[in-house]
Structure 1
Amino acid sequence: MTVVRIGTRGSELARAQTGMIARELEKRGAQTELVIIATEGDRSTAPLASLGGAGVFVAALREALLDGRVDVAVHSLKDLPTAPAPGLAIGAVPKRVDARDALCARDGLTLETLPEGARVGTGSPRRVAQLRARRPDLEIVDLRGNVDTRLGTVASGELDAVVLAVAGLDRLGRLEVVTDFLDINPWPTAPGQGALAVEVRAGEEKLVAALDHKTSRVTAEAERRTLALLEAGCSAPVGAHAVIDDGLLFLSARVYGPDGHITSSHALYVSDSKDPATELAERVSAELFDQGAADLIGATA
């Protein structure tokens, strides 16, 4: 039997996510092998925005795919650049999990009960903008590192709280550290957050096609295409959330700036469009541009 070599970053979360994909492929009769690939984002401690955004976590995995060292690469979808990668394809978007962010704070504190001047860590420009909008009195500290490293800054007293993705904590079995789940409507998260992307060489999509979850792919594509149309990178202060309810695709996106934010929300029936994700993303992005999105994104670049 041919072994399917699956490329992954070396972090505990990346290996947990890749292990989930490996087990799903094995259920379908494949034999798998995990191959650890070091990325620039893992090696550097510089702020994420200065490295060029979350795309630094995927370049080395894509190189390994293209040169044949691995057959499949597993990414957090929110880390993937929105531009197509020549020679590669997203063969599957498995069923998405919780897309929310969560506050993990000392003493069970919530975002509202954090004391004035509390130190909160995050490496995300979007989360920085959201925190400043909701609690301008907080001290925001740039933070990199894996989940345990970030949580350790709270346990040690260095920080009062950190903001992390619920999906990652769930996949690591660490939801007990959450002190406040941040509702998706006032706090939209990164396009594609909560979803995984299973990437393969173009033409080899059948290798992982059985793992694809249509609803998750459509909603994530609507969010990511909005980001692409806004010409904003993975680290831009843009939040988006899409959901399909009774055949109706809803999409809402928000762009943050130094002095506030703008929002657009639209919906359409999936059955009424040949490409509902793109059509809806075009409507939302056009309205955001009309409201001045280009100036906001430029001001925070």
Structure 2
Amino acid sequence: MAEHLFILNLCCQDRPGLVASVTTELAAIEANIAESAQFWDRQSDRFFMRLAFTVPEGVDHEAIDRALDSPVERFGMKTTLTDTTRRPRVIIMVSRFDHAMLHLLYQIRVGWLDAEVAAIVSNHEANRRTAELEGIPFHHLPINSDNKEAQEAALLDLVRDSGADLVVLARYMQILSEKLSNRLYGKVINIHHSFLPSFKGAKPYHQAHERGVKLIGATAHYVTADLDEGPIIEQETERVSHALSPQDLIASGRDIESRVLARAVKLHLERRVMLNGRKTVVFD
């Protein structure tokens, strides 16, 4: 019999009976749980859960919502139900450096990332050819101090019109406005070429070189109005030597940036990341 996979994310204040109330209702519609992950944040007393489950043919999104109405209302749960048969749509934003974008496109092509690229957006023309070769719509949205508001309005229109679920800043070297950051909160992932919270802002490898660090890294995080302060999703470091120049650090960092961003995007698309204030809960 054909089965249909859904993912349920929920959070609420921790109380006895939470898990039982949800799983009992799912069992009543003959759902079969394939994955279950839970976390209790003792500081905030918040409970987080991710459930992946299959349902028989004929049980749709609305039927699941109806089945969960009782525990959702009883415990004041905030829930997101994802139908995995719909491929998530992603907008990739890039400036001149294309290594992180190319890695994302490759991982999508080979199936490790299950997503469809709705558009590639850039403030430069440099990556138009790549978009054309991949058969992806390319949008050149140049930006300066005079047109920033109009440029971001065009981006919001594109997000809406394309049905994009996620915007990925794959070394897009422009700062999003507070208005745009707030509007798309939780739906924009940035790769910062540093192990945050160290070396925020511009030229982090040069900052790291000046401090003589022995480790460099990269951080994928959700974008907020505060520069490089958003909730962290994924990080990685690599040991380096005092003998390396800033250019050597940049070269070493490209691979780290590409890997970290791809992993963060995968975690997000698989609904394994849940926001928890200024932090994230990440279910591996």
**Is the structural similarity TM-score above 0.5?**
no
TM-score when scaled to structure 2? 0.29
- Could you say which structure has the greater relative contact order, defined with CA pairs below 8 angstroms and 6 or more residues apart? 1
More strand as a share of residues = 2
Q: Select the structure that is richer in helix.
A: 1
**Largest Rg, 1 or 2:** 2
